[in-house]
Structure 1
Amino acid sequence: MSIHFVKRSQCHLAWDNSISPVIHISSGETVTFDCLDASNGQITASSDITSLASLASLVFSQLDQVNGPVHISGAQPGDTLRVDVLGIETADWGWTALIPGFGLLADEFPEPALKVWKLVRKVDGKDVCGNGEYGYGWFDEKKGIKIPLKPFAGEMGVAPGKAGAHSTIPPYATGGNIDTRHLTAGSTLYLPIEAEGALFSIGDGHAAQGDGEVCGTAIETPMKVSVRLTVLKDKPYVKTPHFTAHNPHAGTEQFYCTTGVDADIRDATRAAVRNMIAFLKAEHGLSAVEAYMLCSVAGDLRMHEVVDMPNYVIGMMLPKSIFTQAS
């Protein structure tokens, strides 16, 4: 099987099915991407809080670039792309900022602010922080505030079927800036394919983030990420991003998650539940009534992404452990 690699320079700034693929692969093959941070290199490890010129002079049209696109042989509209996240390596630094006009409370925090992090990562496979995590960063060492690193790619998506250029800043039904912190190494993302070849792209490395990313930035960092891309023909119910992942609050517990993506937060929430009902009907043979009740007694709704307008990403999460027989 071929080894595929996408370089930092092989990136684009819009979701657009007319963009030529940087590589062509077969279904089931693995690709490693080398990605700059979401500032596209405009903020560096040497940027500091005493010089906010790096924020004031940000070229917004260059933000949130994604690497790709990758054409997967046999992918057709109506199929599903399975994205297995195999491994993620962050840089040894990252940044968090308040960017005027961005974030849930942008009107209350109009002044720019910047924090550059030193990231302590696993070294030669050794657990440097002593708790099984990837690594850590000090938010404030004097005050004892230490952040465990759980890296993931904020942007993962395929080209939309609709012609034209679509901004990489908001999330869409085809993925994009979904900023979902549960998509760490070992997780699997399912995306609805709308364009021939799928045209998958990835970027926006995050070393850590809370659900919602309320100020508009996480610990932004360059990253190398490896994914396996597989075309599936048997999951027509996947209409928005779905995934399986480890539950960050329950050790080794895994969960299913369906999402709703919409400009109205209530409609996004309703869509997340509807999509879980469709999943449970297809994968576990439940009736719609049974699935709806199961969502109410065992499912958790989460705000995955609430700041990249115009769309919200709401997730319905269901623990896999409640299913005691294989589907």
Structure 2
Amino acid sequence: MPEVVFPLDSTKPFTEQELVGHNRWHPDIPAQVHVRPGTSFRVHCREWFDGAIRNDDSADDIRDAPLSRVHALSGPIAVEGARPGDLLVVDILDLGPVPQEDSGPLAGQGWGYTGIFAKQNGGGFLTDRFPDAYKAVWDFRGQTATSRHVPGVSFTGIVHPGLMGTAPSAELLARWNRREGALIATDPERVPPLALPPLAQDAILGNLQGAEFDRVAGEAARTAPPRENGGNQDIKNLTKGTRVFYPVYVDGANLSVGDLHFSQGDGEITFCGAIEMGGFIDLHVDVIRGGMETYGVTENAVFLPGNTDPQYSQWLAFSGTSVTLDGEQRYLDSQLAYQRACLHAIDYLTKFGWTPEQAYVILGAAPIEGRFSGVVDIPNSCATVYLPTAIFDVDVRPSPGGPARVDPGQGVPRSSF
């Protein structure tokens, strides 16, 4: 096992750890760990809400999820000698849930969860169709996930970090705040909001204190969206064996990681759509001098996917086009087309007995494939979503005998009102 450079105690909250990470992006958040290029090491990660979500049958915790506190990131980790303009090479050697023998009832210790966020608290990809909060708890057995809240479904996890990235420069941070602030100004009262501005409330900034803490907290970017530094990309294929090339914007690169997922479908469509968990990740780092200019990677990471994805061979695919539910034609709107493909799949699965919420959760958590299939044939984009048929206990393919219905069981825990 590689040396644990960022240890966490599963019985203690994020802010009471020996090493305190962060939940905002800013170049002045000091590195908590220093490593050399060419070394391998282990990092412990908290579940993204730091234990706020419970293993129970109520979705009140999802409804009230404290978005101002996310994400609980381990880091920054400075790589000695890395400097702006370099590429940071990060190999994902291994990752998994928190060992079950560790004490503390945290997601990752044999279980994880998927949530449909309420429209009033972040929403999701299909928030107008699903405006209320729901939750599904998943149990882990080896590589397999099952849920008492979604009977009749089991699948092999595709374990990956939802969030990993390097620190922004002061210039890049200012650019983020300008462009996202301008977007918010176009509709400042929108629910859910168009973007999340800097927020000092609940900011965690390593060991910064006093006036420096106040300054950084007022400038630091929220970690919710992906940006040029990588960040919350939620790419399910960043699995074991993946090599990622991150742009370096500050001395040391200041790598951070968190938001581990046991599994996820393309798009993480419920917003909390992956199976969220705490756990560990083993990394190896190196540096390509001047790599940003050499390879034209001036913004946004590139990566070589690993080869450990679940090997599903048969799929049932659904298509959608860029026409709204009420019949309005949109011009080559691929986002809308993917929404329609997802809704198509959800409506289909309800014919087998799953509730719409259970079907939505399946698309968020299972390793579905999402694709933009046609983007040039005006006026309609075409998007497709592929469901692996082997994850279902019944045959979900159309047949003359009609759908074999499942017992929906307990259903997805709803929030109380």
Could you tell me the TM-score, scaled by structure 2's length? 0.54
Task: Determine if contact 1:138/1:147 at 8 Å carries over to the other structure.
Answer: yes
Report the equivalent of 2:305: 245
Name the CA distance, whole Å, in 2 between partners of 1:96 and 1:149. 13
Name the CA distance, whole Å, in 2 between partners of 1:301 and 1:118. 25
Q: 1:301 to 1:174 in 2, by over 3 A?
A: farther
Q: 1:249 to 1:115 in 2, by over 3 A?
A: closer
1:153 aligns with 2:161: yes
1:32-79 deviation per Cα after TM superposition (whole angstroms, max 9, x unaligned) = 1111111211013x3x22x33322332221122211000111111110
Task: Determine if contact 1:139/1:147 at 8 Å carries over to the other structure.
Answer: no
Q: Matched residue of 1:54: which SS? A: helix
Report the equivalent of 1:104: 125
1:144-197 deviation per Cα after TM superposition (whole angstroms, max 9, x unaligned) = 311211101000000011354111110011110010011111111110011111
Count of residue correspondences: 240
Q: Matched residue of 1:12: which SS? A: coil
1:98-152 deviation per Cα after TM superposition (whole angstroms, max 9, x unaligned) = 111321111221111011111112xxxxxxxxxxxxx111246985311211101
Q: Which runs of 5+ in 1 are unaligned?
A: 122-134, 252-264, 267-299, 304-327
Name the CA distance, whole Å, in 2 between partners of 1:212 and 1:29. 32
Task: Determine if contact 2:156/2:310 at 8 Å carries over to the other structure.
Answer: no
What is the root-mean-square deviation in Å for CA atoms of aligned residues? 2.4
Match among 94, 98, 101 for residue 87 of structure 1? 94
Name the CA distance, whole Å, in 2 between partners of 1:142 and 1:100. 19
**1:176-325 pair list within 5 angstroms:** 176-217=231-272, 218-236=274-292, 237-239=296-298, 240-246=300-306, 248=309
Q: Which runs of 5+ in 2 are unaligned?
A: 9-16, 98-107, 174-218, 313-332, 335-368, 373-417
Q: 1:149 to 1:249 in 2, by over 3 A?
A: closer
Report the equivalent of 2:397: none
Report the equivalent of 2:139: 118
Name the CA distance, whole Å, in 2 between partners of 1:3 and 1:225. 11
Q: Matched residue of 2:132: which SS? A: coil
Name the CA distance, whole Å, in 1 between partners of 2:68 and 2:238. 26
How far did residue 201 of structure 1 move? Answer: 0.2
How far did residue 249 of structure 1 move? Answer: 7.5
Task: Determine if contact 2:162/2:233 at 8 Å carries over to the other structure.
Answer: yes
Name the CA distance, whole Å, in 1 between partners of 2:134 and 2:28. 37
Report the equivalent of 1:5: 5
Name segments (4+ residues, structure 1) moved above 6 Å: none
1:211-269 deviation per Cα after TM superposition (whole angstroms, max 9, x unaligned) = 11111120001111111111111532223111101464879xxxxxxxxxxxxx98xxx
Higher strand share: 1
Name the CA distance, whole Å, in 1 between partners of 2:38 and 2:118. 42
Q: 1:242 to 1:301 in 2, by over 3 A?
A: farther
Task: Determine if contact 1:182/1:245 at 8 Å carries over to the other structure.
Answer: yes
Name the CA distance, whole Å, in 2 between partners of 1:34 and 1:142. 29
Report the equivalent of 1:175: 230
Name the CA distance, whole Å, in 1 between partners of 2:264 and 2:285. 25
Could you tell me the TM-score, scaled by structure 1's length? 0.68
Q: 1:84 to 1:114 in 2, by over 3 A?
A: same
Percent identical residues: 29
Q: Look up the equivalent residue of 1:148 and give its one-letter code.
A: T
Task: Determine if contact 1:4/1:30 at 8 Å carries over to the other structure.
Answer: no
Q: 1:141 to 1:159 in 2, by over 3 A?
A: closer
Q: Look up the equivalent residue of 2:49 and give its one-letter code.
A: S
1:277-303 deviation per Cα after TM superposition (whole angstroms, max 9, x unaligned) = xxxxxxxxxxxxxxxxxxxxxxx9957
Larger Rg: 2
> Which deviates further from its counterpart, 59-68 or 3-12?
3-12
Report the equivalent of 1:127: none
Task: Determine if contact 1:140/1:146 at 8 Å carries over to the other structure.
Answer: no
